[in-house]
A and B are shown apart, each in its own frame.
Chain A
Amino acid sequence: MPGRNDDAYWKANIRLVLSLLAVWFLVSFGAGILLVDLLDNIRFGGFKLGFWMAQQGSIFVFIVLILVYINRMDRLDARYRRSGADREDSSP
């Protein structure tokens, strides 16, 4: 049944999205806002870590998150498209 396959695909998709969003929340709201003063105690070069995360670091992490998402989704799509055509369940 394509229905079961769709469910597995959707679940894998949700898992990926949720884990990436967890990182997204940790670096921006976590490191950049809630823990910023704490992280400011760590210095590297001319930066305080909390300040840097808030103004620059988090943006670099955002890029990495989207790139990981693109890559994983391409693989996920390829796998489920193939198995959908064969009408086989592939275990994720």
Chain B
Amino acid sequence: MSVQAWTFLFVALTFSLYIGIAIWSRVRSTRDFYVAGKHVPPLANGMATAADWMSAASFISMAGLISFIGRDGAFYLMGWTGGYVLLALLLAPYLRKFGKYTVPDFIGDRYYSQTARMVAVFCAIVISFVYACGQMQGAGIVFSRFLEVDLTYGVMIGMAIVFFYAVLGGMKGITYTQVAQYCVLIFAFMVPAIFISILMTGNVIPQLGFGSQLTEAFGGGYLLDRLDGLSEQLGFPTYTEGQRTTQDVFFITAALMIGTAGLPHVIIRFFTVPGVREARKSAGYALIFIAILYTTAPAVAAFARANLINTVDNVEYSAMPEWFSKWETTGLIRFTDRNGDGRIQYTGDAATNELDVNRDIMVLANPEIAELPNWVVALVAAGGLAAALSTAAGLLLVISSAVSHDLLKRGYMPEISEKEELLFARISIFMAVLVAGYFGINPPAYVAQVVAFAFGLAAASFFPAIVMGIFNRRMNRQGAVAGMVAGFVFTALYIIYFRFINPTVDNADNWLFGISPEGIGSLGALLNLLVAWTVSRVTPEPPAEVQALVADIRRPEVD
């Protein structure tokens, strides 16, 4: 069977599974729609959180990015896992104890203010949209490459599927589809990784293969030493050494960690479990499930890099395998024979380099480069789609609940009935799918880059406001609102200035304290904290009932 036939088979199978789950889990109440009735067991919530969390960027782009930037890739690896420690220790249990439906719910009630609620609604919608566009684009890339359908149609098929289960089943549908999607995506990520690890190092476990010796066919010696050697030989930066400054890596890692803990679509997953104990437990499960992929990704990055160089460098263009020309037609690989010798020279020097490789294809093409069986190659497509769609659905639900629950029911239209609220929730998810799809077809930048911005914004707005809401009883509405606005505006302006208004000055000489736009969210978070704290000291303390609410969040849960 050809790769394409296998791909169609896997995609069709997984999609019918998702639709089946959607029909089984359709809901009739807002409680089911927003938080799956708070019946989700910790193990299932752990898997759902992992799928919700691991996006097209984690699945498709991350290993590719790492394979091009080497050690600095650690900020993705540590940032996107270390945030779970913050989430588990500082947020999840308390927010579950608080026990409402959304993040703006908490902000609005804790800061006894409609303004605070609306600021939170605004932040939640912007962050989730930015993030959702990246997912739709990711789904489009997979469709267009593997099923050879036009990117536009690819995005539309993805939209239709998400629309179907999110509108019917709300959080309940999304949760159980995400459990299935986790299984699909982790299987799809691990099978090629294991195959390649065996092929290149003889070690079944890719995490260990990463530190093992290469087989004779690949030149022997430790994989990482070999990579360092190849990098030096071809004029690339040394793989196991950093390129960015220490402070930049520090701030980017911090921004990704704090952002992770502040992302509304991750936080709301902890509202779906029965109690505080289960919230803590599911944070543990979630990190374990995530770590399976995240400890494999750096290994895949190294394998892919070594393999790519082995396959292409100084080899005749006419001798390139089939995958090379297939990826050439998508424009993701480009070869220009500068010196006219008919061979590919792949070097770190822009003047002599003849090969441009898009980072996103390192995971997508890796199984083909390693000449794995067709069914393994096809798995990657199903996995990439599962990763993109599961995250997109979680994000769309945040947007929908922010509109129907926070903006309407608890904001401007408190008189609507539950039935009407549910209808509004479904309408807003429909609108959100359309807008995200539009930006998926007309994307602003690389998938992972777009997503990185969402983190900066989440780090600078939500995380400080929620943490202070729990740990600082004296924090009041004036402080929280001023802090969120300051953090969000500062971070957004910094990113917009360097990435969109004046990209020519986007380099370390012009950055504030040498912090790149990816890392600025951590400074935004700090600014938020400082502004909030200062403002709260010169304004009245929160009313007694709010202080009682804080005291209650801190008390151990009663069975």
User: Which B residues are in CB contact (< 8 Å) with A13?
Assistant: 554
Q: A9-B555, A46-B225, A70-B281 are in contact. Are A33 and B82 (CB under 8 A)?
A: no
In the complex, residue of chain B having the shortest beta-carbon distance to the beta carbon of A51: B240
Could you tell me which residues of chain A, from 11 to 35, have a CB within 8 Å of some CB in chain B? 13, 17, 20-21, 24, 28-29, 32-34
A80-B556 contact in complex given A28-B78, A28-B253, A60-B295, C-beta closer than 8 Å: yes
Interface assignment of B395: CB less than 8 Å from any CB of chain A: no
A69: chain B residues within 8 A (beta carbon): 88-89, 280, 284
Docked-complex contact A55 and B81, CB < 8 angstroms: no
Q: For A84, list chain B residues within 8 Å (CB).
A: 556
Q: B403 in the interface, Cβ–Cβ < 8 Å? A: no
A77 touching B253, Cβ below 8 Å: no
Q: Which of B128-136, B207-215, B523-531 contacts A (4 or more CB under 8 A)?
A: B207-215
Chain A residues with CB under 8 A of B242: 36
B558 interface residue, CB < 8 Å from A? yes
Residue-wise, chain B 205-224 has the 8 Å CB interface mask toward A (1 for contact) of 00100111100000000111
Size band of the interface chain B makes with A: 35 or more
CB-CB contacts below 8 Å: B114-137 with A: none
Main secondary structure of the interface of A (DSSP, over half): helix
Complex Cα gap A60–B85 (Å): 12
CB contacts (< 8 Å) of A52 on chain B: these are 211
- Is the C-beta of B74 less than 8 angstroms from some C-beta in chain A? yes
Chain B interface SS verdict (over half): helix
Contact among B78, B207, B277, B294 for A32, CB-based, below 8 A: B78
The tally of residues in A whose CB lies under 8 Å from a CB in B reads 42
Decide yes or no whether B108 CB sits under 8 A from chain A: no
The reply to whether the CB of B77 lies closer than 8 angstroms to some CB of chain A is yes
A81 to B250, CA, bound (A): 40
Known: A32-B78, A46-B213, A62-B287. A55 touches B73 (CB 8 A): yes
Q: Give min CB distance, B468 to chain A, whole Å.
A: 14
B558 near A63 (CB under 8 angstroms)?
Answer: no
- Give the number of residue pairs across the A-B interface with Cβ within 8 Å: 129
- On whether the beta carbons of A70 and B280 are closer than 8 Å, the reply is yes
Interface centre among B82, B223, B250, B295 (most CB of A within 10 A): B82
Q: Are B556 and A59 in contact (CB under 8 A)?
A: no
The reply to whether B82 and A73 form a contact with Cβ atoms under 8 Å apart is no
A46 contact set on B, CB distance < 8 A: 210-213, 222-225
Residue of B nearest to A76 (CB): B556
Most chain B CB within 10 A, of A40, A51, A66, A73, is at A66
Chain B neighbourhood of A56, CB < 8 A: 77, 207, 210, 295, 298
In A42-77, the 8 Å CB interface with B consists of 44-48, 51-52, 54-56, 58-60, 62-63, 65-67, 69-70, 73-74, 76-77
Tell me if A6 is interfacial: C-beta within 8 Å of chain B: yes
Q: Is B420 at the interface (CB under 8 A from chain A)?
A: no
The answer to whether A33 and B223 touch across the interface, beta carbons within 8 angstroms, is: no
Q: For chain B residues 275-295, which have a beta carbon within 8 Å of chain A?
A: 276-277, 280-281, 283-284, 287-288, 291, 294-295
If A20-B89, A24-B82, A81-B558 touch, whether A54 touches B71 (CB-CB below 8 Å) is: yes
For chain B, residues 182 to 239, give those with C-beta under 8 angstroms from any C-beta of chain A. 207, 210-213, 222-225
Give B73-91 as 1s and 0s: 1 = Cβ < 8 Å from A's Cβ atoms: 1100110011011101110
Instruction: Give the distance to chain A from B255, nearest Cβ to Cβ, in Å.
Output: 12
Q: A82 to chain B: closest CB distance in Å? A: 10
Which residues of A are found within 8 Å of B207, using beta-carbon distances? 56
Q: Which residues of B contact A (CB under 8 A)?
A: 66, 71, 73-74, 77-78, 81-82, 84-86, 88-90, 93, 207, 210-213, 222-225, 240, 242, 246, 249-250, 253-254, 257, 276-277, 280-281, 283-284, 287-288, 291, 294-295, 298, 551, 554-559
6 nearest A-B residue pairs (beta carbon): A46-B222, A54-B74, A46-B211, A55-B298, A47-B211, A45-B211
